[in-house]
Amino acid sequence: MSDIKTKIKLMPNGPVIVEGNFEVFSADGTEMAQGKGMVALCRCGASASKPFCDGAHAKIGFQG
Ligand code: FES
């Protein structure tokens, strides 16, 4: 049985999905969110609610 508490999954042409316990910080160290469960982080750069995915990757045809 695995001891991994957090799972990170790169979605094809979409966000990074983080599942488990998480904390999200800005570059200057300011905490932006924390929680337990699932969060989708933008990796296309087009989200209007960064660092979170808002579905804009589909509109811009993000490939990654
Ligand atoms: S990955 Fe979804 S809006 Fe950027």
Number of other residues whose CB lies within 10 A of the CB of residue 8: 12
47 lines ligand 1 (CB under 6 A): yes
What's the distance, CA 18 to chain centroid? 6
Please report, for the domain that includes residue 47, its CATH number: 3.40.5
Q: Is residue 46 part of a domain?
A: yes
Question: How many domains, in total, are found in the chain?
Answer: 1
Say what the pLDDT of residue 46 is.
98
57 lines ligand 1 (CB under 6 A): yes
pLDDT-above-90 percentage for the chain: 77
**Residue of 17, 50, 53, 59 to mutate, ligand 1, most atoms within 8 A of C-beta:** 53
CB–CB of 11/63 below 8 Å?
A: no
CB–CB of 21/5 below 8 Å?
A: yes
Closest atom of ligand 1 to 11 CA is: 1
Q: Give residue 52's domain range.
A: 6-60
Q: Is residue 1 part of a domain?
A: no
Give dist(CA 11, CA 6) in Å, integer: 16
Tens digit of pLDDT for each residue in 10-59? 999 999 999 999 899 999 999 998 889 999 999 999 999 999 999 999 99
CB–CB of 38/19 below 8 Å?
A: yes
- pTM summary value: 0.86
